[in-house]
Amino acid sequence: MTTAMSDSFDLGEPPQPAAKADVAYRVLARKYRPQTFSELIGQDAMVQTLGNAIKRDRLAHAFLMTGVRGVGKTSTARLIAKALNCIGPDGQGGPTIDPCGVCEPCRAIAEGRHIDVIEMDAASHTGVDDVREIIDASRYSAVTARFKIYIIDEVHMLSKNAFNALLKTLEEPPAHVKFLFATTEVNKVPVTVLSRCQRFDLRRISAEQLAKHFAWVSTEEGVVAEPEALMLIARAAEGSARDGLSILDQAIAHAGLEGGGVTADAVRQMLGLSDRGAVRDLLGLILAGDGAGALASLRRQYDYGVDPLSVLRSLLETVHGITLTKVGTPADAAQPAEERAAREEWAANLSYPALHRLWQLFLKGHDEVAKAVLPIEAAEMALLRTIYASTLPDPGELARQLAGSPAPAAPAAASTQAPAPAPASSGEAPPWAGAGASAPPAPVDTGPILPPTFAALVDLLDDSGGLAIAARLRHGARIVSYAPPEFALSGSRPVSADTLAELGTLLKSVTRTAWKVSIVDAPGEPTLREAQDAADEAVKQAILESPIMKAAVAAFPDAKLESWPGQRSNA
């Protein structure tokens, strides 16, 4: 009977026990949290300061770490706790900047279970009662560690009363107690607390350092990642290692199991970034004056899910990069070759005033899109404004028009096909090239400009930007003879050699001919300002002598003639 029952329930070989329980996945930001100071990237100055303090036994009783999110504030606090309590593999070691990581205090602190290292989140423990618990417990010696350490994260969240309760203990804590504070908003921490702490401002981590770190993490994870993709992630992280590792974690998941790895295109798509090639095409259309093409390009990116604000930001980054290229800044090694080539070509064809104008227009458009109820429509209007601003005359053209010389011919109608910067060999500059571009300008009259009178010459210098020289001539120069391109000034009003040299250079630049300016021993005519004042006075006297004015003065004896039609400015 028993045997039969046993046979009826025989299901084959008994199941084998599981060899190993599944381990929960840890995100990269936690898995690769720095365990030693050598793994803490971008904070070399702070590490050196701490190392010297430990070696010289000049340890402060309170440390304050401040900086943006993800730069290592809490990690640094834990590393300091390990450094102060490490006893070495043999149990005989002392405080060190290179904790061993294998002794019981190091392992317990790394795992967050050390009884003498107390972490508190000030965001959820803001009251004076929470601080009173710390004060009461700090009186007792450490149980097993060398120092009892309190790590208070986001310390700026403590209430005013809590800060006040902590002040006395913070200023004169027991010898076995260390306070480690971390905050992202140090301006909210009372000055009375700051003055009692040794402060470390943790810097944003550079994109290059982050990209290098992410490359190492990718290798450790067995993931193939394009350098450009890692640089995109590093830039999106904005100096935060934690943010960057979170994005990298997402990018690895986005890549899937196909084995393609993390690509730049996938990262752009994942982050909603504007494609660099599309941005170059869009900027080329804008510079070519193709409004319809630019709007179509913007709409294509918008349909792909790209935020209009991201497009304006990418255009600003591109203009900034072109300007850096123009001033000779070395190119980014991680930048694609086609991006470098496009920027170099644009830098050769665009003048500094044109780049400045582009920057200002895109920046204004970016602000408008950020606040707009209809972002895509606001972006379109911003691009159209930028395109049509290219037809505005530059200061050089305005000066030529005021001087009476013909202005350069207007640029031809914009081509409807300008997906990239115009080839350098074409000999044509984009409408945005303006004055100073490398492409040859339209033909202009190159003959000399010889104003008929000395007053006309001074007005020309004034209109051409020589305001200081023109003012000196108008107020102090007495003309003796004027026969362009030569004139003589009276020596009764001394003129310095520097002024004469500056005047000669300006005259040659404005009139396109060399002038001979001499100083002679003769009284000369009144200055232009004196002549103007005399003319104004003559007109005033003529008005005062008129019958109507005499009748008005007779009726109102205190009346004065302050101004009259045609009076010149006294400026």
> What single string gives the DSSP state of each residue in 21-81?
PPPPP--HHHHT--SSGGG-TT-HHHHHHHHHHHHTT---SEEEEE-STTSSHHHHHHHHH
The predicted-structure confidence for 24-42, as pLDDT tens digits, reads as follows 788 888 888 888 888 888 8
| Segment 316-328 mean pLDDT | 91
Specify the CATH number of the domain 207-271: 1.10.8.60
Three-state secondary structure call for residue 262:
strand
What is the model's pLDDT at position 380? Answer: 93
pLDDT classification of 441: cutoffs 50, 70, 90: very low
What is the model's pLDDT at position 545? Answer: 81
pLDDT classification of 416: cutoffs 50, 70, 90: very low
| Segment 136-144 mean pLDDT | 88
> How far are the Cα atoms of 83, 126, 167 from residue 154, in angstroms, in the given order?
22, 10, 17
Cα angle, residue 204 at apex, residues 198 and 209 outer, rounded to 5°: 120
* Minimum mean pLDDT range among 100-104, 168-172, 428-432: 428-432
Neighbour-count burial of 477, counting CB atoms closer than 10 A to its CB (0-12 exposed, 13-18 middle, 19+ buried): buried
| pLDDT above 50: residue 127 | yes
* Minimum mean pLDDT range among 414-428, 494-508, 537-551: 414-428
| pLDDT above 50: residue 425 | no
C-alpha to C-alpha distance for 370 and 350, rounded to whole angstroms: 28
Cα angle, residue 320 at apex, residues 316 and 324 outer, rounded to 5°: 170
What is 28-201's CATH topology? Rossmann fold (3.40.50)
pLDDT classification of 565: cutoffs 50, 70, 90: low
> How far are the Cα atoms of 43, 376, 437 from residue 390, in angstroms, in the given order?
45, 22, 14
What is the model's pLDDT at position 312? Answer: 92
| Segment 308-330 mean pLDDT | 90
What is the model's pLDDT at position 25? Answer: 80
Average pLDDT taken over every residue of the chain:
80
The predicted-structure confidence for 272-307, as pLDDT tens digits, reads as follows 666 677 888 899 899 888 889 999 999 988 887 788
| pLDDT above 90: residue 364 | yes
What is the model's pLDDT at position 19? Answer: 47
- What are the extents of the domains in the chain? 28-201, 207-271, 300-426, 454-525
CB–CB of 101/218 below 8 Å? no
The predicted-structure confidence for 184-205, as pLDDT tens digits, reads as follows 888 999 999 999 898 988 888 8
pLDDT classification of 43: cutoffs 50, 70, 90: confident
The predicted-structure confidence for 47-106, as pLDDT tens digits, reads as follows 888 888 888 888 889 999 998 888 888 888 988 999 998 988 888 888 888 888 889 889
Return the CATH number of 300-426, one of 1.20.1530, 1.20.1440, 1.20.272, 1.10.1740: 1.20.272
| Segment 488-508 mean pLDDT | 77
CB–CB of 101/108 below 8 Å? no
What is the model's pLDDT at position 399? Answer: 60
| pLDDT above 90: residue 517 | no
* Minimum mean pLDDT range among 64-73, 372-381, 534-543: 534-543
Top pLDDT among 389 and 434 is at 389
